[in-house]
Amino acid sequence: MTFTRRTSLALLASIAITPVAAFAQEDYPSRPITIVVPYGAGGTTDISARQMATMAEKVLGQPIVVENQPGASGTNAMRAVAAADPDGYTLIATTSSPSFVTPALRDVGYDTLTDFIPILNYSGPFHGVVVPADSPYATLEALIEGAKSGVVTYGTAGAMGGAHLAFASVAKDTGAKLQHVPFDGASKATAAVLGGHVNAALVPAYRDLVQDGQLRLLGVLDGTNDPDFPDAPTLKEAGLAAEFPSIVGIMAPAGTDPAIIAKLEAAFTQVASSDEFKTFMTDLSQPVRIMSGAELGKTIAENLTAYRAIAKDLGN
């Protein structure tokens, strides 16, 4: 075989570059890491991400800065991080809305499945189906049956959000007359069900009101039971076809070195699994729900497919 001068130079270049690249991976991180939060400061996603960052920087040996970039239901920040250098120094703490709900409804300028690498899921608020404590509906099955013979109204935090799409799917599958009433935020939907303005509400912050006896929890939209209310069924346990889990996870831009992803996943998993982090999240009234990067990627893909189908049925 005859080697040209160009071939020889290419081989020498590859030999020279390989040790440098390997050293860069072993040396990571060598400077501060930024985690972008796609919402404003003070919300549960922001607060939990800051605690994750504070604890993970002790594991990784470098500062981790949390940067808020709110706007467009989180899609502005997702788009910015997708375009960032894939060097492991810019990550995003993402949730269901910008990962698979909004992308199922419109073009957001990125593809969650190809523009990001999931690292870890560490939380995801439960969304409960709640009714007033004196409601005639004692179970989720009873609510659905009641909606087959007459209209049942339910409130959510807004039109075409995850909760709305989830119950639109339930209505389609069961033939129930479930009439959606959108509100400007979950707190207003909760106030509406407490005031008797809607028959039910699909909201995340229900624990205290249920424990105080003001609301009754009929079930959860997620694929796992709320440990605070283990008797409240998931949709599948109530005999329905689908479940709609929420996520709060960390992802990196596509193209990030697998060795860096593995190092980040190990560090964040160590934090999420610790008693200190679990206690913090309990005090925040947020669950710890750990999924590996691979599991998070599968969850996002499954939900993108499900929400796109529901949006299509709704004519979106």
Q: pLDDT value at position 11?
A: 46
- Transcribe 285-307 into DSSP letters: T-----EEHHHHHHHHHHHHHHH
- Four-residue CA torsion sign, 111, 158, 45, 124: negative
Torsion of CA 260, 91, 122, 62, to 10 degrees: 60
Q: Is the pLDDT of residue 8 over 60?
A: no
pLDDT digits (tens, 9 = 90+) for 35-92: 999 999 998 899 999 999 999 999 999 999 999 999 998 999 999 999 999 999 999 9
Q: Is the pLDDT of residue 7 over 60?
A: no
Q: Which of 277, 288, 170, 186 is nearest to 228 (CA)?
A: 288
Q: pLDDT value at position 21?
A: 44
Q: From 3.30.300.30, 3.40.50.460, 3.40.190.10, 3.40.50.12780, which CATH number describes the 128-220 domain?
A: 3.40.190.10
Q: According to CATH, where is 3.40.190.150 located in the chain?
A: 31-124+246-313
Segment 276-287 shows an average pLDDT of 93
155, containing H or E segment: strand 152-156
pLDDT digits (tens, 9 = 90+) for 68-80: 999 998 999 999 9
- Four-residue CA torsion sign, 291, 293, 294, 296: positive
Q: pLDDT value at position 262?
A: 98
Segment 29-33 shows an average pLDDT of 98
Class of domain 31-124+246-313: alpha beta
Cα(95)–Cα(73) distance, rounded to whole angstroms?
Answer: 10
Cα(98)–Cα(95) distance, rounded to whole angstroms?
Answer: 6
Q: pLDDT value at position 3?
A: 39
Cα(67)–Cα(60) distance, rounded to whole angstroms?
Answer: 18
Give the pLDDT band of residue 4 (cuts 50, 70, 90). Answer: very low
User: How confident is the prediction for the chain on average, in pLDDT?
Assistant: 91
Q: According to CATH, where is 3.40.190.10 located in the chain?
A: 128-220
Give the pLDDT band of residue 25 (cuts 50, 70, 90). Answer: low
Tokens 């002790």, residue located: 58
Least confident range from 6-10, 112-116, 149-153, 280-284: namely 6-10
Beta bridge partners of 152: 178
